[in-house]
């Protein structure tokens, strides 16, 4: 056993605290420059003389509020409300003053499966496997829907296994090529080289029928734009949108480079605003990169899954997510607790945002299914991009990409793992709000230095244990400056004081914090098999609150 953290070291350490009680909430929405003012009883007689009252208050009186002592006044819209309210409160005529707050109906879809969609609204409900989530670990869609629910002017091309355009959740939002729909059967009515491409394109057969024969593309489509507020099934990020089916992956789930290029070029040519790409593999391709560049030149956003290898894309690129083209937005996956999914690729330079990607329920030709992958995370981001385009029609695709990254909600599970350090948030995107630091992120707690290291490399079939204590702590997290074990075979286990296993870690996790452990004690145990011996770990700090 190796004992760390004496009491003297604890109190001698520097302290940096972000209290959970800090005022991180944004200001309530109010009409700019408008205030409600309550007159003192002695000045009630002046209420009806708007001109005189305006002079006395220094603001224009717009109206009185029925028989009450309140009036509505208009100040300068550019003036900070705190200054205006202070000025009003100091006037001898004024008993009270407050902003003219804005209230909205709370728009919530009536689709019966909404509560199963933790990625949209997470109130701590269990996912499809029974694993309880953490309230608020979602894309902030409930508040976003009060602002925007989507537009049929926006087209999202789902480049995948196709689109089941007759499914109840998808049919109403399926894109249609009106020239072909209203044209002659068997004729290329719009002259685009594809015959009868009413709902999209099938690059595999070079035909106009993108009907999904696998389910993956429809599953992604349901997350982007399952028809909302229709009382049927589930709902997507967008209640209204147009989903273009572009099939290049077969019923077996695979496709070729040639067909991928054709699929991207078709979607670009036919006016898609967003390309959603939940696929990957193969080596670096100049042909594929150039097709993405052509989309960029046409102002089209290319959202791509980071990959499911559990690896660092900064070190080992994953394509198409790793192409350095300005319109590419790469997406990692998180679970319903806000942790990076064990399978998700990451990269603090080359992967940009995280999104829900574990046990995500959506529609397929075989019914509603719960699937996991960065494939499931990607359509959440594509859907939010479509919402923003509906809300701000003049915004460019590169401005959309920047907004999605800039307004992501910081969470500890993604810090240092993606460029934004956070989870996409639809409300933040629509309101262009920069999210505050995450008070539950151990990086925002106080810490003490520590020294705990395995032998390097660790031994075959070896076991090492460490005990770490911070007296008085209610919650702790370990900081690994270096962490490298054989993924899926060699594990680092963390136990609390009661001996309960809290978490198991494996793979490469340099410059990372462990999941938090309740209490003032952690027992660390590394267990290795006899196949591959890697570096092990170095613990250099313990964060606590």
Q: Are 480 and 538 in contact (CB under 8 A)?
A: yes
Tell me which of 361, 396, 431 is where a domain ends.
431
Which member of 111, 127, 160, 438 is catalytic? 160
Residue 395 lies in a domain: yes
**Residue 428, pLDDT score:** 95
Q: Which of 403, 431, 459 is the last residue of a domain?
A: 431
Residue 109 has a pLDDT of 53
With respect to residue 196, please indicate whether it lies within any of the assigned structural domains.
Answer: yes
CATH number at residue 479: 2.60.120.290
Q: Rounded CA gap, 172 and 135, in Å? A: 31
- Which is the catalytic residue, given 318, 330, 372, 375? 375
Tell me: cis bond preceding 57? Omega within 30 of 0 counts: no
Number of domains in the chain: 3
Maximum pairwise Cα distance, the chain: 91
- Whether the link from the prior residue into 457 is cis, omega within 30° of 0, is yes
* Total-model pTM: 0.75
Domain boundary among 408, 431, 454: 431
Query: Do 330 and 313 touch, CB atoms closer than 8 A?
Result: yes
Residues of the chain under the 70 pLDDT cut: 1-29, 66-67, 77-78, 101-112
Domain range for 505 is: 3-15+444-544
By CB neighbour count within 10 A (0-12 exposed, 13-18 middle, 19+ buried), where does 286 fall?
exposed
Q: Is residue 325 part of a domain?
A: yes
Q: Is 188 noted as a catalytic residue in this protein? A: no
In a domain, 25, yes or no: no
Decide if 456 is catalytic.
no
Q: Is the domain of 224 the same as that of 302? A: yes
Domain match, 75 and 219 both = no
Query: What is the distance between the alpha carbons of residues 158 and 218, in angstroms, rounded to a whole number?
Result: 9
The percentage of the chain sitting over the pLDDT mark of 70, rounded to a whole number, equals 92
- For residue 171, give the CATH number of its domain: 3.40.50.200
417 and 294, same structural domain? yes
* Domain contains 107: no
Give yes or no: residues 320 and 469 share one domain: no
**181 occurs within a structural domain:** yes
Same domain, 281 and 348: yes
Which of 422, 530, 376, 524 is closest to 464 using CA atoms? 524
Q: Is residue 436 part of a domain?
A: no
Rounded Cα–Cα distance for residues 491 and 473 (Å): 26
Q: Are residues 83 and 156 in the same domain?
A: no
55 in the same domain as 201: no
* Angle, vertex CA 538, rays to CA 533 and CA 539, nearest 5: 140
CATH number of the domain residue 77 falls in? 3.30.70.80
Question: Across the strands, what pairs with 476?
Answer: 517, 544
Q: What angle do CA 16, 445, 306 make, to 5 degrees?
A: 125
Residues 324 and 237 in one domain: yes
388, 461: one domain: no
Give the SS3 label for residue 69.
coil
Same domain, residue pair 220 and 182: yes
| Residue 260 shares a structural domain with residue 205 | yes
State the Cα–Cα distance between residues 358 and 126, nearest whole angstrom. Answer: 12
pLDDT given at position 98: 84
**Options 127, 164, 212, 216, the catalytic residue:** 216
Q: Is position 85 within any domain?
A: yes
Active site residue 221: no
Query: Using the 8-state DSSP alphabet, how is residue 401 labeled?
Result: H
């Amino acid at each position: 056993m190796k004992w760390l953290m004496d009491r003297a070291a604890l109190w001698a350490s520097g302290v940096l605290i972000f209290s959970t009680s800090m005022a991180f909430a944004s200001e309530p929405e109010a009409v700019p420059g408008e205030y409600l003012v309550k007159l003192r009883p002695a000045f009630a007689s002046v209420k009806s003389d708007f001109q005189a009252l305006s002079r006395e208050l220094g603001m224009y009186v717009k109206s009185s509020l029925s028989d009450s002592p309140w009036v509505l006044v208009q100040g300068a819209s550019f003036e900070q409300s705190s200054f205006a309210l202070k000025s009003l409160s100091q006037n001898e005529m004024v008993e009270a003053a407050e902003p003219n707050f804005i209230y909205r109906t709370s728009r919530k879809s009536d689709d019966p499966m909404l509560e199963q969609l933790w990625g949209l609204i997470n109130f701590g409900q269990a996912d499809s496997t029974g694993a309880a989530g953490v309230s608020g670990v979602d894309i902030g869609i409930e508040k976003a829907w009060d602002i925007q629910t989507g537009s049929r002017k926006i087209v999202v091309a789902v480049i995948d296994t196709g689109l089941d355009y007759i499914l109840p959740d998808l049919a109403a939002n399926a894109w249609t090529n009106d020239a072909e729909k209203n044209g002659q059967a068997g004729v290329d009515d719009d002259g685009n080289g594809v015959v009868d491409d009413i709902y999209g394109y099938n690059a595999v057969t070079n035909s106009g029928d993108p009907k999904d024969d696998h389910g993956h593309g429809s599953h992604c489509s349901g997350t982007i734009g399952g028809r909302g507020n229709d009382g049927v099934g589930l709902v997507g990020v967008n209640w209204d949108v147009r989903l273009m089916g572009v099939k290049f992956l077969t019923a077996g789930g695979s496709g070729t480079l040639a067909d991928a290029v054709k699929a991207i070029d078709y979607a670009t040519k036919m006016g898609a605003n967003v390309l959603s790409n939940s696929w990957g593999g193969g080596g670096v391709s100049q042909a594929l990169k150039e097709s993405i560049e052509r989309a960029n030149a046409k102002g089209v956003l290319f959202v791509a899954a980071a990959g499911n290898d559990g690896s660092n894309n900064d070190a080992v690129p994953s394509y198409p997510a790793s192409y350095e083209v300005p319109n590419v937005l790469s997406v990692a996956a998180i679970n319903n607790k806000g942790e990076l999914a064990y399978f998700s690729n990451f990269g603090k330079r080359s992967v940009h945002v995280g999104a829900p990607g574990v046990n995500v329920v959506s529609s397929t030709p075989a019914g509603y299914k719960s699937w996991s992958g960065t494939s499931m995370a990607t359509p959440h981001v594509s859907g939010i991009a479509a919402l923003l385009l509906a809300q701000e029609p003049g915004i460019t695709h590169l401005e959309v990409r920047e907004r999605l990254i800039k307004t992501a909600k910081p969470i500890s599970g993604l810090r240092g793992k993606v460029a934004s350090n956070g989870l996409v948030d639809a409300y933040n995107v629509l309101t262009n709000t920069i999210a505050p630091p995450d008070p539950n992120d151990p990086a925002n707690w106080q810490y003490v230095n520590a020294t705990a290291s395995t032998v390097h490399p660790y031994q075959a079939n070896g076991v090492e244990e460490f005990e770490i204590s911070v007296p008085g702590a209610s919650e702790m997290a370990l900081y690994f400056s270096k962490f490298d074990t054989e993924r899926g075979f060699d594990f680092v286990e963390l136990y609390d004081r009661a001996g309960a296993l809290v978490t198991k870690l494996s793979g490469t996790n340099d410059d990372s914090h462990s999941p938090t452990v309740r209490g003032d004690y952690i027992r660390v145990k590394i267990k290795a098999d006899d196949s591959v011996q890697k570096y092990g770990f170095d613990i250099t700090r313990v964060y606590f609150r």
